[in-house]
Structure 1
Amino acid sequence: MALCLFHPLTFEPTPFVRSSTVRLLDAKKDMVGVISVSEAVRIADENDLILAILSLDGDPPVLRLFEEKEYKKHKYEQQKKKRVQQKRSVAKRMGLKELKMGYNIDIHDYSVRLRAAKKFLKAGDKVKIVVNLKGRENLYKKQAIELLRRFQTDVGELATEGSKNFAERNIYVILVPNKLAIQKEQDGANKKGSAGQMDQSEDESDEDEAVIEQLEESSLDGDKPVIEQLEESKEPETEVSVNV
Structure 2
Amino acid sequence: MRRIAGACRALLPPPLGRPSHRGVRGGRTNRRYMGRRFRGRVRPNKPEHRVNHRIRFPKIRVIDPDGNMIGVMSPDEGRAKAKEFGLDLVEVSPQARPPVCKIMDYGKFKYEKSKAKSAAKSSTPTMKTVQMRPKTDDHDLETKLRRARKFLKRGDKVRIVMRMRGRERGYPQRWIEMLQETYQESLANLGRIASKPTQQGRVIAMVVEPTTT
Same fold (TM over 0.5): no
Larger helix fraction of residues: 1
Measured against the shorter chain, the TM-score band is 0.3 to 0.5
Whichever of the two has the greater Rg, that structure is 2
Q: Comparing both chains, which one has the higher relative contact order based on Cα–Cα distances under 8 Å and sequence gaps of 6 or more? A: 1
